């Protein structure tokens, strides 16, 4: 792969940062003219040769003291394919000599056996060349995020064909108008075949061919930045796909055997293994950690990302690696916001605590409590009120938690409601109510693709085009507009972005809670039952504006008397101080 510090015209250090060069497998580094240096970090194999489409004869590489095999090659103009040939140390290959794809290939040709590809034009490497245009746009801070999780193929579907980076770009204005300011991409690194959620990563630094080219992905990131939207990439470090290149070079060097009763999604990287026979910059090497940090640095620098969602950190089970990744990312981002959020399930708030390794964590208890409250018509109202303030679950600040009602890991809300026998108008009301709870709770809200218009799908691994036609129905359009209204309200209200939260009322399925204080104070009243209710709610005296139905109401004698439709919420914003 190309070392970012040596890209020449294909790379500009982001935000004035100084790019650093580290040894990593197989690196291709541009030098003068069309000379390219190939390098493979594989310290214990006996020999390495380069097999390239430009040469009839394999070219031997030389090992340096740090365990990296190197060779500079003069490449002609054009598109070239290459692999490395070596005697494998993996136990299941019994010493066979194998041709292996570059573990850090930036581009692979899936139609020809995933062979690594490099493109030379105009005397330089243009494999991932792109001219960034919107790097200097201001972006939201970590505690201001409204996230939207999407799958490139499902979200970007067009004319019945699964989506690409380019078709997703066509819908960025839709996301901006929805109020989203952070797009969370499900994994885009190359995987086998063309249809996958992306968690079976085979080539850690190559873009999935079915989605487009490296330039297409860069343009997607650039266009998000043009709309002042951050890009959070879902990355997988606890395992790889079974045919990934490192498994064929020296399995025991990078991977460990699975433990009893451990979930298995592919070979497990061994973040505890130390190679005390190799030193780089005076330090002994931890091979899997080195690999993971090199991958993380590559994506940040090459694609100008604004954050990572770390998949299955409970399974990864190594806070030290997560902490090192976060430190490295903050340094490379060079002052720009970079958000490292962990999917750590079962939840452990320590991963996002003051001394924890991540900036934030997925708040699964929120999803469980909200969905249960909606299905049970408020039977667990106390549990619901508890999760609306993540401090009750051990999280210390709003930026430390990502709340969600839907994600790729659960059935959609509409699916859950249908399974509980709730459909039609009742399901529509409960979906609106869920959105209000999500956007008025303490913490960063995250939507899952299609949630905003009532999209429905079961929990399975099928790749299903998003149901964009739902926006043509009144209920889908109205639901989407409700989400956009809530996003706008949240972005405009300091109280809804802060950490102040107080319970005002919990009786007969009607709950009320206060966000903030003073002139920006907001009070939310939710009727969890599926029948209309009238109630007198303890309220600060004064004039209030109900913003969902748009009317003014006065609270006298410390109570507000109002009517609350079935499975709905009202949001009151203070008009005066009542003094």
| 558 touches 540 (CB < 8 A) | yes
Residue 508: which residues within 8 A CB-CB, separation 6 or more? 529, 533, 535
Cβ atoms within 10 Å of 514's Cβ, excluding its own: 20
Cβ atoms within 10 Å of 196's Cβ, excluding its own: 21
Q: What is the pLDDT of residue 302?
A: 98
CA-angle at 22, arms to 16 and 23, nearest 5°: 155
- Rounded CA separation 28/107 (Å): 12
Q: What is the pLDDT of residue 459?
A: 78
Query: Of the candidates 382, 414, 412, which has an alpha carbon nearest to the alpha carbon of residue 528?
Result: 382
Cβ atoms within 10 Å of 111's Cβ, excluding its own: 8
| 498 touches 518 (CB < 8 A) | no
* pTM score: 0.94
Q: Could you give the C-alpha distances from 575 to 500, 540, 555, 561, 579, in angstroms and in order?
A: 19, 12, 11, 17, 12
Cα 33 from chain centroid? 38
Q: Is the dihedral of CA 162, 165, 166, 170 positive or negative?
A: positive
Q: Could you give the C-alpha distances from 451 to 290, 404, 485, 575, in angstroms and in order?
A: 38, 10, 15, 32
Q: What is the pLDDT of residue 577?
A: 55
pLDDT tens by residue, the chain, 579 residues: 333 323 333 323 344 333 333 344 455 544 434 789 999 999 999 999 999 999 999 999 999 999 999 999 999 999 999 999 999 999 999 999 999 999 999 999 998 999 999 999 988 999 999 999 999 999 999 999 999 999 999 999 999 999 999 999 999 999 999 999 999 999 999 999 989 999 999 999 999 999 999 999 999 999 999 999 999 999 999 999 999 999 999 999 999 988 877 777 899 999 999 999 999 999 999 999 999 999 999 999 999 999 999 999 999 999 999 999 999 999 999 999 999 999 999 999 999 999 999 999 999 999 999 999 999 999 989 999 999 999 999 999 999 999 999 999 999 999 999 999 999 999 999 999 999 999 999 999 999 999 999 999 887 888 999 999 999 999 999 999 999 999 999 999 999 999 999 999 999 999 999 999 888 899 999 999 999 999 999 999 999 999 999 999 999 899 999 999 999 999 999 987 544
235: region left, alpha or beta (phi > 0 left; psi from -120 to 50 alpha): beta
Q: What is the pLDDT of residue 502?
A: 97
Q: What is the pLDDT of residue 152?
A: 98
């Amino acid at each position: 792969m190309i070392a970012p510090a040596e890209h020449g015209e294909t790379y500009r250090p982001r935000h004035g940062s100084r790019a650093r060069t580290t040894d990593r497998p197989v690196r291709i580094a541009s030098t003068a003219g069309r000379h390219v240096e190939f390098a493979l970090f594989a310290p214990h194999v006996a020999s390495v040769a380069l097999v390239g489409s430009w040469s009839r004869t394999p070219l031997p590489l030389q090992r340096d003291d740090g365990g990296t095999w190197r060779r500079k090659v003069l490449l002609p103009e054009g598109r070239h394919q290459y692999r490395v040939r070596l005697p494998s140390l993996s136990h299941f290959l019994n010493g066979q000599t194998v041709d292996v794809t570059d573990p850090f290939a930036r581009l692979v040709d899936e139609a020809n056996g995933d062979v690594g590809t490099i493109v030379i034009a105009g005397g330089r490497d243009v494999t991932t060349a792109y001219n960034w245009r919107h790097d200097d746009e201001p972006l939201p801070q970590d505690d201001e995020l409204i996230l939207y999780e999407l799958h490139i193929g499902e979200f970007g579907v067009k004319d019945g064909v699964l989506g690409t980076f380019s078709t997703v770009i066509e819908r960025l204005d839709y996301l901006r108008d929805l109020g989203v300011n952070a797009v969370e991409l499900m994994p885009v690194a190359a995987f086998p075949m063309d249809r996958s959620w992306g968690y079976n990563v085979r080539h850690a630094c190559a873009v999935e061919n079915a989605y487009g080219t490296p330039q297409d992905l860069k343009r997607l990131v650039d266009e998000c930045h043009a709309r002042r939207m951050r890009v959070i990439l879902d990355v997988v470090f606890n395992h790889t796909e079974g045919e990934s290149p490192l498994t064929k070079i020296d399995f025991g060097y990078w991977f460990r055997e699975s433990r009893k009763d451990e979930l298995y999604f592919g070979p497990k990287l061994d973040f505890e293994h130390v190679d005390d026979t190799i030193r780089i910059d005076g330090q002994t090497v931890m091979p899997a950690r080195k690999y993971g940090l090199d991958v993380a640095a590559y994506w940040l620098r090459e694609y100008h990302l604004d954050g990572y969602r770390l998949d299955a950190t409970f399974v990864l089970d190594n806070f030290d690696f997560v902490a090192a990744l976060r430190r490295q990312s903050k340094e490379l981002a060079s002052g720009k916001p970079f958000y490292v959020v962990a999917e750590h399930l079962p939840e452990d708030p320590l991963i996002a605590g003051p001394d924890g390794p991540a900036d934030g964590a997925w708040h699964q208890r929120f999803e469980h409590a909200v969905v249960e409250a909606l299905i049970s018509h408020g039977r667990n109202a106390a549990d619901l009120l508890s999760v609306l303030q993540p401090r009750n679950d051990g999280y210390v600040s709003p930026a430390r938690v990502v709340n969600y009602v839907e994600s790729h890991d659960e059935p959609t809300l509409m699916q859950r409601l249908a399974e509980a026998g709730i459909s039609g108008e009742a399901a529509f009301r409960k979906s609106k109510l869920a959105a209000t709870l999500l956007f008025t709770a303490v913490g960063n809200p995250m939507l899952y693709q299609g949630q905003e218009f009532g999209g429905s799908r079961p929990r399975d691994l099928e790749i299903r085009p998003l149901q964009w036609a739902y926006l043509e129905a009144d209920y889908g359009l109205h639901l989407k507009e409700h989400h956009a209204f809530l996003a706008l309200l949240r972005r405009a209200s300091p109280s809804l972005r802060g950490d102040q939260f107080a319970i005002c009322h919990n009786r007969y399925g009607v709950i009320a809670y206060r966000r903030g204080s003073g002139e920006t104070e907001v009070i939310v009243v939710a009727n969890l039952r599926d029948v209309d209710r009238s109630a007198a709610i303890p309220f600060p005296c004064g004039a209030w504006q109900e913003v969902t139905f748009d009317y003014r109401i006065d609270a006298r004698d410390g109570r507000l008397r109002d009517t609350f439709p079935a499975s709905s919420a009202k949001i009151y914003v203070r008009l005066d101080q009542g003094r």
